Amino acid sequence: MSTDELNVEELLSQLNAALAWEMRAEVMYSHFGAYVKGIHRLHLKPYFEGEAAESIVHGKTVREQIVKLGGKATTRRDDTEIVHTTDYKVMLRESFQTETVAAATYKKILELPGIDSELFDALEQISFEEERSIEELSQLLD
């Protein structure tokens, strides 16, 4: 087996980890959008709802790639705790953490040898969006 040969099992396992993380992100952002209090609700409710919607789109893309590879897409979200809070600063910190893990997950998949260009492009696009979210959140936390 050459070193740049695709390990489909490994790829599917990492794609499923990314999908589970997107499903967790969707629930987390929806939860934060519902619970954010005070004057910041004005901005952060639509912000969190937008991020929840983005997580659904990312999850959809990843799921379709799993199907294309003949894999079985997970229906369970990652079980890492979603912190319940009404403190927007905690929400932003949790969001930053979540996006950081997401970006690292996609980066790892993009480095796998032998993935085809369509999959690479789709995941690279998501990866750029996670990086933008990290940048935005670090400014919100400043």
- Give least dist CB 98 to Fe ion, A: 9
Total residues interacting with Fe ion, rule: CB under 5 A: 2
Stretch 12-71 residues interacting with Fe ion (CB under 5 A): 58
CB of 62 to Fe ion, least distance (A): 9
Judged by CB under 5 A, the stretch of 33-41, 87-95, 99-107, 113-121 that binds Fe ion is 99-107
CB of 137 to Fe ion, least distance (A): 13
Q: Report in angstroms how near the CB of residue 59 gets to Fe ion at its nearest.
A: 8
**Which window, 1-9, 63-71, 81-89, 97-105, contacts Fe ion (CB under 5 A)?**
97-105
Distances (CA, A) of 29 to 22, 36, 44: 10, 10, 10
Query: Which residue number, 37 or 60, has a Cβ lying nearer to Fe ion?
Result: 60
- Residues near Fe ion (CB under 5 A) are 58, 102
